[in-house]
A and B are shown apart, each in its own frame.
Chain A
Amino acid sequence: MSLLELKNVSKIYGELKALDNVSIHVDQGEWVAIMGPSGSGKSTMMNIIGCMDKPSLGEVLLDGVDISKESSKHLTDIRRDKIGLIFQQFHMVNYLTAVENVMVSQYYHSMPDEEEALEALGRVGLRERARHLPSQLSGGEQQRVCVARALINHPELILADEPTGNLDEANENIVLDLFAQLHKEGTTLIVVTHDPEVAEAAQRTIVLEHGRVAREIINENFGK
């Protein structure tokens, strides 16, 4: 069953077509990597899927709802309710502790629950660092807090933009293991990456070039 479907999506900035008639689909529970060189349209696609931008043409169906026609306010609601976002930079609110950074996501979604937030931090191996400010955490730890924050509201889709781009190998493995665990639990993952090793961890890789889908690669070794 399809969770996400892009139908003939284009994003045009003046003369430039950042996305050019792209059609893809992602099934519920699937782990998909999106690869491509700089300027291939990866970030534009991530913005559109993440409800941060709208396409110029085409339809984007998320859980059956065409988000390309939704208002800005409604897009915020959809992003909050259905999507967990992870970025390459460790974007934390710098005056909040690790657990507060997770709770802030709960607050804007439903209701803050400290115990649940601590459990989410425990899941990424940071329960004992819960009361630390971002400045007291390493880059890898900060990214894991961001993963915990993305998970806390049980989103249907985790959308990660170069999540391991700034991590050392050890932390990269921790994050990929977490993704694998989430995938096993049925969470849909879309990971935008440059790194072939990160892409290989996914079930399927969509390669973008010049704003178009160049090819799709099925990972035959997935799960082995």
Chain B
Amino acid sequence: MNAFSLAIKNLIRKPGRTAALTLLTAFLALSVFGGSLVVSSLQRGLHSLESRLGADIIVLPASAQSKVSFEKLLLQGTTGAFYMDASALDAVREVEGVEIAAPQTFLASLKADCCAVKVQVIGMDQETDFVVQPWIAQSYSRSLGDMDVAVGCKVEADVGETLRIYDENCHVVARLAPTGTGLDTAVYCNMDTMNHLLAAAEQKGVSHKITSDSEETISAVYVKVKDGYDIDQVNSKLNGHVRKATAVRTRSMLTQVSDSLAGVSRTVSLLIAAVWVLALIILLIAFAMMAAERRREFAVLRLVGTSRRGLCRLVLTESALCSLAGGLIGIGAAAAVVFPFTTLIETQLGLPYLTPDARTMLLLGALALGVTVLVGALASAWAALRLSRTDPGATLREGA
């Protein structure tokens, strides 16, 4: 017999009280871990979006719809296509302060017999691209060949398989790392492949031409500004110089996402804080009630020689065991709720959402467990202190 086994015996032989305390701490751990996981996933998603956009400015067709479609593509993975004349690329390059201008062309496949899946196809110029290729390089070391495609992690096609788009067979050569954004649902190819697919789409009645006689079209130009140039000024110049196009600072797009994310994070953080305070208060009440109920028991222990410190240690051991068990149950429950519903959460929030890696999740779990045990210890320490100061002789003579 020792202080630990005494604590265990008490917990086992008082199952109602133990279950109530464990449940309470489990609820606390669930909210802390679940909430932290969601906030961390959102932050990671934003960071991922930042690195995937990678450009200072994005030039899009002037129509109001194009910017909305582009944002929907980025955040929700909604397919869409908008075009401007390819001459816009030359106009962009003419503007002073533009270091790199990399064009992309978009094509949405159909949910029809001609296409295996409905996806966004993004064609990029491999010579100038500085956004997609570093990402592809993480999983594929070579350049994309003709009719080769790299697929986002949410596209249902494995490396080595053939993906049919507008009755053209594309070879899947790479599967890209997750970004937590709409880009995970897209398919990437070089410009030659894209031109081939555009022609095939044309035959199916899906036109990419702005006018009947226009030849080359593009959807977006990613711009990197030279060092020493003010991005806002370059952005203004682009808006003035490039006809029928709108230059948008990527930061402004990210700011909107970031603002939404900050709102969600604030709500979740407030929720965690509220649960934390509530749990602390309830635990304080629970331990105070327990202290009142166990006055005689602790008086007996004091009289058989337990020191005040020994008594505190006993109460803290009990609360630590309860909190630890509750913490593990809560974390397990949070994992069971959050992980299977990642897609649903992502869809509901409409924000980039990238689940943290195993190490970060372990850290978050340890943090949630630490917070839970700390709250349990804080609540019980007060009760333990009160109990240890009680006069044991007087308590036992009360005949309580």
Listed in ascending order, the chain A residues whose CB lies under 8 Å from chain B are 43, 46-47, 50, 52-53, 72-73, 76-77, 79-81, 85, 87-89, 91-96, 100, 103-109, 112, 133, 149, 161
Contacts and interface: CB of A to CB of B under 8 A. Distances in A.
16 contacts: A52-B391, A52-B392, A53-B391, A76-B302, A76-B305, A79-B303, A80-B305, A93-B297, A93-B300, A96-B9, A105-B304, A108-B304, A108-B305, A109-B304, A112-B1, A149-B304
A76 B399 contact: no
Interface string B1-40: 1100010011001100000000000000000000000000
B1 A73 contact: no
Contacts of B391: 52-53
Nearest to A101: B300
Contacts of B302: 76
Secondary structure of the A contact surface, majority rule:
helix
Given A95-B14, A100-B1, A104-B1, A88 B399 contact: yes
B397 A95 contact: no
B303 A107 contact: no
Given A46-B393, A52-B394, A88-B399, 11 more contacts: A47-B394, A52-B391, A76-B302, A80-B304, A85-B303, A91-B396, A96-B6, A96-B9, A104-B1, A104-B6, A106-B1
Contacts of B9: 95-96, 100
Nearest to A91: B300
Contacts of A100: 1, 9
Contacts of A76: 302, 305-308
Contact of A89 (B13, B14, B304, B396): B396
A73 B396 contact: no
A164 to B, nearest CB: 15
Interface residues of B, number: 27
A40 B392 CA distance: 21
Nearest to A52: B393
A91 B305 CA distance: 14
A133 B391 CA distance: 26
Contacts, number: 76
Interface of B: 1-2, 6, 9-10, 13-14, 296-297, 299-308, 310, 391-394, 396-397, 399
Give 3 nearest A-B pairs by CB, closest first. Answer: A80-B305, A52-B393, A108-B305
Contact of B396 (A87, A93, A112, A149): A87
A50 B300 contact: no
B2 A107 contact: yes
A53 B396 CA distance: 14
B393 A47 contact: yes
A46 B397 CA distance: 11
Contacts of A93: 297, 300-301
B305 to A, nearest CB: 3
B397 A161 contact: yes
A87 B301 contact: no
Contacts of A112: 1-2
Given A53-B393, A95-B14, A89 B399 contact: yes
Contacts of B300: 91-93
A87 B397 contact: yes
A47 B297 CA distance: 18
Contacts of B310: 108
B3 to A, nearest CB: 8
A72 B6 CA distance: 24
Most buried by B among A53, A76, A105: A76
Contacts of B13: 95, 133
Contacts of B305: 76-77, 79-81, 105, 108-109
A95 B304 CA distance: 16
A52 B297 CA distance: 16
Contacts of B14: 95
Contacts of A96: 6, 9
Most buried by B among A46, A53, A85, A149: A85
Nearest to B398: A89
Nearest to A94: B297
B366 to A, nearest CB: 32
A45 to B, nearest CB: 11
Nearest to A146: B300
